[in-house]
Amino acid sequence: MGHCRPKARRSEEERPAIWVGYGRLVKLFRERARLTQQELAQQVDYSPEQIASVEQGRRPAKTAFTEAAERVLEAGGVLAALQEEVDRARLPAFFRDFAALEAEALSRFSYDPLLVPGLLQTEEYARAVLLGHCPALPDDIAEQQLEARVSRQQVLTRAPGVELSFVIGESVLRNPVGGTGVMREQCRRIAEVSALRNVEIQIMPAITGFHPGLDGPFVLVETTEHRRYGYVESQEVGTLVTDPAAVSFLGLRYGKLRSQALSAVDSAQLIEELAGEL
For 89-113, the pLDDT digits (tens) are 888 888 888 888 998 899 999 999 9
Work out the angle between the directed axes of helices 78-88 and 63-73 (0-180°, nearest 10): 160
CB 146 within 8 A of CB 126: yes
Statement: residue 277 has pLDDT above 90: no
Sheet arrangement for strand 105-112: 199-204, 163-169, 105-112, 218-223, 228-234, 237-241
CA torsion sign for 42, 48, 53, 59 is: negative
pLDDT of residue 272: 94
**What rounded mean pLDDT belongs to the chain?**
92
Lowest mean pLDDT among 10-24, 126-140, 192-206: 10-24
Statement: residue 80 has pLDDT above 50: yes
Give the type of residue at 34: R
pLDDT of residue 65: 95
Across the chain, how many H-helices and E-strands are there?
A: 12, 6
Statement: residue 10 has pLDDT above 60: no
CA distance 162 to 173: 24
pTM of the entire predicted model:
0.76
pLDDT band for position 1 (cuts 50, 70, 90): very low
Question: What domains are defined for the chain?
Answer: 17-88 (1.10.260.40), 93-277 (3.30.870.10)
Statement: residue 181 has pLDDT above 60: yes
